[in-house]
Structure 1
Amino acid sequence: MEHQDYQQLLVPHSLNALEVSEARELEAHLETCAECRAELIALRDDAALLAYTAEPVEPRPEVRARILESVRAERTVDRAGAMNDKVVPLKPRANWNVWTMGLRIAAGLAFIALLIGLIVLWRRDAKLQQEVAQLNRQLNTQQHELVRDRDVLARQREALALLNSPDAKHLELAGSETAQNARGSFVYDQKTGKAVFLADGLPATPPDKAYELWFIPKGHSPVPGRIFTVDSSGHALLPEQMPADAMGNAVIAITLEPKRGSAVPTLPIFLSSPKS
């Protein structure tokens, strides 16, 4: 049998309504399947609780009258038997009572089976909703990753177009003693100031820190640029806009600052372009 076939046998097994062979086969499966064992225990607990859910019902007037009439008839028969020393059989009524009781028991069992079936469907529906919610979370994660990948691709295309522009100027950044293996490139359009910065080999940023790019025009105070972080290989790619005051001759530098950035650079410098 498949796992789903065993699950369909759990409800009748909780009511002791399986054939002996099916029950044995299901019991063998339960020894190795924790999920089915847990579901069978829950079904049996739910069936046990049904005995406490039924409210007492007052008999209808016609039922009460029928019972009293039966008692009077039995008394009459007893009196007649005492007088005639004969017993009047009540087989038809007894058969009718047994048949009625059997129908009531069958109806009760059917009602219990219906309730258990509803409980099983409810549990499976809840499990299905959890699976759907998990799939939605995975889909949202994939969509965020897709948006991020598209953003990276757009930056790469923008950087490639700028690198191939005839008006582009390249500045190479070298690592300091703090980051000797780091290197970077800053490329900007001398007409529009549109720029792109590429870095590689920078140390990983602490959770409360971020790198900040600085423009340091000759004879002027440093101008803060973008804040960024690097990936596991120390790589970063970000667009930038060259300030008008720094278009002539400025040093490009990278420092490690608080996560929200700083108004003035904090030493040491990790990357810097040559002084002109």
Structure 2
Amino acid sequence: MNVTEYIESGILESYVMGAVSDQERREVQCLSSIYPEIKAELDQLSEAFEQYALAYSVEPPVSIKTKLLNELDFNEQSEETVVRPLPVDRPFISSFRATWIVAASVGLFLLLFSLFLLSELRTNQKTLASMRESNTKLQGDIQELREEQSQNDQMLALLRQPGTRTIALRGNEKAPDGNMLVFWNRQTHEVAIQVQSLPTLPPDKQYQLWSLVGGKPVDAGVFDPTNGNQLLQRLNRSITQADAFAVTVEKRGGSPSPTLTTLLAMTPVNS
């Protein structure tokens, strides 16, 4: 049972004001004996109702006491007690009763209005908490976008540098739909890649880029087929020379030499 939803349903307020059916009354009594949260909320509402009843109660006029004392005869005229009927001032009683009804109505209205304000306060507190959570998430998203923008700016700066070459690698029969671009700058020796389409790998595998110099492979860095929202991935290797670039599938973290059976693509630099 969701205790919070039950408390916020409003049935406890109706119970305190006596506006529930017998079945609902038994239900509230049973649940309040099982769940301390419901019992505490019920006690709090009962106390609030009592405080409002006391705060807005109307004391009878002082003149009533004087009128009653004047009507009573406390002087003993004989040994027998004379019982006299108490005169009933019907207009006064009707007026007094109407005053009580008005006062009770005002008190009940104020109580209901206070319960309404309490409910609205709880709703506003939940809304505020939700807005704070959304704001925190938004701040995190903004920070992430700023970091991605900074990385993309660095990549664009690399592409704009003189001497940057773009090499298109296309998959062989093992990855017929595989396509990616390699960006290599002969002067700064930086390497970046843009994956357009490559098969997804198991968690323990990664793609590894190789530069071929005089027929010998040189590790150019490992990468994953996707890297979040980043268009380009900068590899952490410095490549001074390259006759061609190739891609293989290796264990996560890379391999010191390529596994030729997993060769997916190879393209000469001057092609």
TM-score, scaled relative to structure 2: 0.55
1:248 paired with 2:241, answer yes
CA deviations over 1:31-87 (Å, ceiling 9, x no partner): xxxxxxx978675345227779649x9xxxxxxxx98x969965759x89x999975
**Separation in structure 2 between the aligned mates of residue 125 and residue 51 of structure 1, nearest angstrom:** 19
Kindly indicate whether residue 127 of structure 2 is the aligned counterpart of residue 131 of structure 1.
yes
- Stretches of structure 1 lacking an aligned partner (at least 5 in a row): 1-37, 58-65
Structure 2 match to 1:273? 266
Partner residue of 1:237 out of 214, 217, 232: 232
Q: What is the total number of aligned residue pairs between the two structures? A: 221
For the residue of structure 2 that corresponds to 1:177, the secondary structure is coil
* Native 8 Å contact 2:223 2:235 kept in 1: no
2:197 maps to 201
Contact 1:193–1:241 (CA<8 Å) still a contact in 2?
no
Counterparts of 1:123 and 1:145 in 2: how far apart (Å)?
33
Using a 3 Å threshold, how does the CA distance of structure 1 residues 227 and 46 change in structure 2: closer, same or farther? farther
- Counterpart position of 2:110: 114
The 8 Å contact of residues 179 and 202 in structure 1, kept in 2 or not, is answered as: yes
Amino acid at match of 1:188: W
| Corresponding residue number in structure 1 for 2:171 | 175
Give the corresponding residue for 2:14: 44
Task: Indicate the SS of the match to 1:187.
Answer: strand
Secondary structure in 2 aligned to 1:116?
helix
SS at match of 1:110: helix
Alpha-carbon distance in 2 for matches of 1:71, 1:227: 102
For residues 254 and 107 of structure 1, do their structure 2 counterparts lie closer, same or farther at Cα, with a shift above 3 Å needed?
Answer: farther
C-alpha separation between the residues in 2 aligned to 1:110 and 1:192?
84
Aligned 1:150-189 pairs, distance under 5 A = 150-189=146-185
Q: Mind listing any 5+ residue stretches in structure 2 that lack a counterpart?
A: 1-7, 19-41, 55-63
| Contact 1:201–1:235 (Cα < 8 Å) also in 2 | no
Would you say the 8 A contact 2:222–2:253 is kept in 1? no
**TM-score normalised according to structure 1 size:** 0.54
Aligned to 1:18: none
Amino acid at match of 1:264: S
State the match for 1:89 in structure 2.
87
Within 1, Cα distance between the matches of 2:240 and 2:83?
Answer: 131
Distance (whole Å) between structure 2 residues aligned to residue 100 and residue 185 of structure 1: 94
Residues 116-173 of structure 1: CA deviation (Å, up to 9, x unaligned): 2222122222223333444444444444444444444444443333233222233332
Per the alignment, residue 57 of structure 2 pairs with none
Identify if the C-alpha distance between structure 1 residues 264 and 164 changes in structure 2 by more than 3 Å, giving closer, same or farther: same
- Give distance in 2, aligned partners of 1:160 and 1:123: 55
Name the SS for the 1:178 alignment partner.
coil
Partner amino acid for 1:248?
Q
- 1:240 aligned partner, one-letter code: L
The 1:73–1:167 alpha-carbon spacing in structure 2 relative to 1, beyond 3 Å, is same
Matched residue of 2:235: which SS? Answer: strand
Distance 1:236 1:96, change over 3 A: same
Q: Is the 8 A contact 1:167 1:191 kept in 2?
A: yes
SS of the equivalent of 2:226 reads coil
Greater CA deviation, 146-155 or 164-173?
146-155
Aligned mates of 1:107, 1:85 — CA distance in 2 = 35
Alignment-derived partner of residue 27 in structure 1: none
Tell me: CA distance 1:191–1:98, structure 2 relative to 1, closer, same or farther (3 Å). same
SS at structure 2 position matched to 1:185? strand
Closer, same or farther in 2 for the Cα pair 1:242/1:100, shift >3 Å? same
Q: Give the counterpart of 2:253 among 259, 262, 265.
A: 262
SS in 2 for 1:118: helix
